Structure formats: structure tokens, C-alpha cells
Amino acid sequence: MMRTYQTRLLLDAELTRQLDAYADLYGRAERALFAEATRGKGLDQLKPGFCREFGLTARQYNALSRSVKGKIESLVEIRKLRIADLEDHLARLEQVIAKLPAGSLKRHWKRRRMARLAGTLARLKQDRQDGILRLCFGSGKLFHAQHHLEANRYPDHAAWKRDWQDARSDEFFVLGSKDETAGCQGCQLTPKGNGIYRVRLRLPKAPLDPDHARPTHTEFEARFEYGRDQIDAALVAGIALSFRFLRGGRNQSASRTPQGGAGKNWRMLVSTQVQGAASLDLLPGALGIDVNADHLALTVMDGDGNPLQTFRIPLVTYGCSSGQAKARIGDAVKQVIRIAQAAQVGIVIEKLDFTAKKRAMKDQGVRYARMLSSLAYSAILDAVKARAFDAGIRVQEVNPAYTSIIGKQKYTRRYGLSNHGAAALVIARRSLSFSERPNRTSCHGTSPVPAWKRGEHVWRHWARKVTEERRLKRASGRRKAIPPASGATAAHGAGGTNLGAAGGIPARESVPSTVRGAYMAGYDKTLWI
């Protein structure tokens, strides 16, 4: 797994000037390469000309092209998601407008909003058809700040322009390789002990300086508080080390104020492959995780596909800063890993598809709609993968399609689970390819499945069930409350039960291997954490 460790550099004025010059050259080359690449020219085709024009080595150009390629791929994917989201939003607006009385003020404003969204959607589709990618280097927010200088605390346009130029050239990337000395040709670390390293950075050549008066290398010291063992291991094993230098702090208000432009310092980030812990000897079964807007639902399953215990870990990131959200996610994931270790099973998570998740959760109400805007979906899944990697626990990703409806109709009554706990059970069962056939009595009545439907995929049935459920909700005009499973509210108001060192999971040997139609006697159906 790739890990990144960072440190703040303490540099004198000359070293700061050299890194500033490197970032300025890198920024100009990156913007020029992005413009050429979006016109349809191949990155390999542009390499000789860019190396001559900007004085780059072949390795420095490879780092530049890697960065540009990543930005292009990101823009393509983001546009795809925006188009799908706008189409879904417009379809919902049409349904809302159709129910409003003609001539009402609310209908008028809804139609105006619909027209704006339709115009945005048309522009995105036209850009996709024409192959146009739009990216504002330095951020669009800072670009528009020049039109409101006083409101953004700029004394004049020159002060804004200095910040604008700094923001457009505030980083550069140095690509590593395992075939190069110390894992990187352009930047090399030499350990000096106690987490201190000697850094030797290769600078770009001066293309406009015929005398080549600019130095070819610069050296300084850096101290890492975290990750020194992994960096030392990579240096000994000859593993590639890649470096990213950032000026100031990303998305920090102090780093882009008119007064702080000259005082910004540099950070160095080192990325390398690390070795995880030895894999645990896991028992048959799985721990399924269903990510929701305000909590994580977990279900421990045995090797026969039956639930052993369910857990609900509160996790609300709505209204939190990025640091607060990261801390809450870290605390929740620690509990997930502790549960998996106590149960001695692997972890099963949803394959990352936030668009589908968001669409499935839109029917939950206004409260959930607010939380969705701040749901750190990918951050939660990434944290689970990272912590499980450190603990030596296997993580498997499965398609989350129809897990909610399958769990609700097949397992909520059978095992006394909540809807989300049942969805987590379906996720766990899907990792072992258990059957998802509907229950004959509870899912489609007493009649058997018609002969003409027996050859179709089982998901076709669940897709029809989803459509039917949404239609019933729209017809009722309100969402009917589902009573919680017996015992589910225990300790909820008091903040829950502390798992402690044992993790709150009974010993595996004491748990029956199968559950025949009823939940285990003697075990809590839901444990609130």
C-alpha cells in the first residue's frame, strides 16, 4: 500500500528562493502542457519540445506529465458524475413542478432553477462532445476575488496578483523509481539519525541562461516525526520514493492572505510503498459494513451466512471541519478494526460509488439530504482499508446494488435486525456469493415466480421492488416509521457500551454455527457503541 509522510521544512532565504523558482517553472510548464494535452496532442509526443523549452530532464518531464494526466482523468470523471447528478436533479424537479399549481410563485422559482440547471447540463454535454476540459489553476474562488478586492482584504490589484501567481505555482512533484539511486533520481534522502535526513534536490536547468549560472542541485535537512521507519526500510530495500513539495497549506486561509505571501514556508511529502502486518489467521465468515449518513452499520456473519451480532457506530461529519471529520472517522474505524479482530473475520465493504449511494439515500428525508453534502464516503472506506492493512485483516469490496431492499425484505423480520444492519448482512453474504433469491411469502406473496421470469437475473426482481417502494412512498406522502428491533435502543441515550479490550464480541467457539429462522438466544441483537 502507498503511504505518504510529510514534514515542514525550515529553510533560509536562499533555499526558499530556489524552491520558489522551481515551483514557478513547474507551474508554467504544467499549465502549458495541460493546454497542449487538452488539444489532443500526446504527452509522449510533446516531451522533446518541453524539455528544451523549460530546461527539464526526462525524469522531471515524466513527473510533470504524470501530474497533468491525473488532472485530465479527474476532470473527465468529475464531469461524468456532474452530468449524471444534474440529469437526476432535473428529473426530480420535473416531478415537483408537475404537482405545483399553475401560476404559483414557488412553481415560477422552481422553473427558473430548472432552466439554470438545464443550461449547465447542456454546456457540460457540449464540452464532452467537443473534447473541452476546463480547469482554473489557482482556484476559481481566488480568481474572482480580484473583482471584490476590499471584501477579500486586498489593498490593490497588485497585491491580489501576487497571491494569484503564488497560488498557480505553489507545488512541484518529483517522481521516483526503484531503478534509481535512493529510489529517486531527482530528490535523494540520506539518513543522519534520529529522524533527520539530508535532502539533495536536483534543480531544473536554466533554459534562458547561456552561462548556466543557476546551480544544478541544492541541499538541506528535513526531520520526520512519523514514518521514519518506513522511509528507512524503503531506502534499504531500494523501493521508489516520490516527493511532492507544497508551499504553505492547502485550503488554509492564512496561506493565501495578502499579508502572508512572502512568509509561506514549504512542506515536503514523501510517498512510498509500505509492507503491512502479517495476515491474521481468520475464521470463516465476514464483517459487513454499511456506510450511512449518520452512522456505520456492522454485522458479523458466520461461515453459513447467518448473523452473529450487529453494531451501530455513530459517525456524523455534517458541520465538521476537515480535521474534525478526519478525527471522527479515525475513531469510528478503530472500533471497526477492534470488532473484526475480536471476531477473527475479514471485512467486506461497498465498492466505491458515491453517486449510486447518494441516489439511494435521497428518499430518506431532509435530514439525510443535509448530511449527504458532508458525508466523507471515500474517506471512510479508505480509512478502513488503511487500518485493516496495518492490522493484517483482509478487506473485500462488493457491489452494493440493492443491498438495502434485500436486507429489508429478507432479514429484518427473520433475525430482528434494523434495516441498515440487514443491509450490512447482505454485503457480508455477497462476499461469499450466497443466494439472494426473494423469500416466497414475504417478498412476492404466496404465488411462485412466474415461469417467464425464472430465467432472469435475481436483481431484476429487486429493481422492481425498489421502484414499487418509491411509488408507495410518493403516494403516501410521508415516510412511515419502522419500529426498531427489540433491544436496539439499549444504551442509546447513555452513549452506548464500551467494547473494552475484548471488543464486545463473544468468543467464537461459544457461538452456534447456524441460526435456523430465529436469532441466537442469549446474545444481544444490537450493540450500540
Measured at the alpha carbon of residue 315, what is the angle toward residues 309 and 320, in degrees to the nearest 5?
A: 175
**Amino acid symbol at 286:** A
Please give the residue that has the higher pLDDT: either 482 or 272: 272
d(CA 71, CA 447): 54
Per-residue pLDDT tens digits for 160-178: 999 999 999 999 999 999 8
3-state secondary structure at position 453: helix
CA–CA gap between residue 5 and residue 110 (Å, rounded): 48
State residue 223's pLDDT score. Answer: 93
Mean per-residue pLDDT of the chain: 80
For 203-220, how does the pLDDT look when each residue is reduced to its tens digit (9 = 90+)? Answer: 988 654 555 566 788 999
Q: Would you state the pLDDT for residue 442? A: 53
Specify the higher pLDDT residue, 517 or 449: 449
Rg from Cα positions in the chain: 28
Instruction: Give this prediction's pTM.
Output: 0.72
CA distance 336 to 296: 9
Q: Does domain 285-435+482-528 sit in CATH 3.40.50.10490?
A: no
Q: How many other CB atoms are there within 10 angstroms of residue 501's CB atom?
A: 8
**Per-residue CA distances from 421 to 136, 344, 413, 434 (Å):** 43, 19, 12, 17
Q: Span 345-353, mean pLDDT?
A: 86
Give residue limits of the domains in the chain.
2-273, 285-435+482-528
Average pLDDT over residues 503-516: 36
pLDDT digits (tens, 9 = 90+) for 406-456: 888 888 888 889 989 999 999 999 998 887 777 765 554 545 555 555 667
| Higher pLDDT among residues 74 and 462, named by residue | 74
pLDDT surpasses 60 at 196: yes
Angstrom CA distances, 82 to 123, 161, 201, 476, 503, stand at 11, 31, 40, 31, 41
The pLDDT score that the predictor gives to residue 321 is 85
Residues shown for the chain: 529
